[in-house]
């Protein structure tokens, strides 16, 4: 959700002239009518906001670390009046689906597969995600 956000960009049309000042002090003029792209992909990997931005460290999101996150540095579901209404459902669904699948099956990348993300409306793997799926032995399923 941070490194490969399914919604890599959020678009808005400016309804009036405006200006935005970046954290480094640069001011950008925004004319009425222009399209503004808010890019979760970029924001989620930005060095100004994340320590070791490219590293997969899910512990960043543990309750004790949440206080360090600004509400607007992590936008997988957007923010404000048009925030995703399915956010809680989507997170529960993903965890349940993963738990059910990972308990029964093992997923290994096939040799030589190179997974490359592309931005369409959503983030997608350009050539799919070829994987070898094998049943986990019942014994290991219980032990794990």
Q: Which of residues 59-118 bind ligand HEM (CB under 6 A)?
A: 76-78, 82, 84-86, 89-90
Q: Where are the alpha helices (DSSP H) in 9-86?
A: 40-43, 63-66
Rounded to a whole number of angstroms, the minimum distance from the CB of residue 77 to ligand HEM is 5
For residues 89 and 107, which CB has a smaller minimum distance to ligand HEM in the complex?
89
Q: Are 40 and 5 in contact (CB under 8 A)?
A: yes
Cα 99 from Cα 93, distance rounded (Å): 10
Establish if 6 lies at the interface with ligand HEM (CB under 6 A).
Answer: yes
Q: Which of 10, 41, 43, 44 binds ligand HEM (CB under 6 A)?
A: 10
Distance CA 37, CA 75 (A): 13
- Please identify the residue of the shown chain whose CB is closest to the bound ligand HEM: 86
Bridge partners of 13? 35
Residue 85 CB, shortest distance to ligand HEM, in Å, is 5
Between CA 141 and CA 100 the distance in angstroms is 11
* Footprint of ligand HEM (CB under 6 A): 6-7, 10, 76-78, 82, 84-86, 89-90
């Amino acid at each position: 959700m941070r490194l490969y956000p399914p919604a890599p960009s959020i678009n808005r049309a400016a309804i009036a002239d405006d200006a935005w000042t970046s954290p480094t002090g640069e001011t950008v003029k925004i004319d009425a009518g222009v399209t503004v792209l808010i890019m979760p992909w970029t924001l989620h990997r930005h060095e100004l906001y994340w320590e070791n931005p490219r590293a997969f460290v899910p512990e960043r999101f543990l309750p004790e670390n949440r206080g360090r996150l600004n509400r607007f540095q992590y936008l997988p579901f957007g923010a404000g009046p048009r925030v995703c209404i399915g956010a809680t459902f989507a997170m529960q669904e993903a965890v349940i689906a993963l738990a059910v699948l990972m308990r029964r099956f093992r997923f290994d990348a096939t040799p030589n597969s190179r997974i490359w993300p592309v931005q369409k409306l959503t983030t997608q793997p350009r050539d799919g995600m070829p994987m070898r799926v094998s049943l986990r032995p019942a014994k290991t399923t219980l032990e794990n």
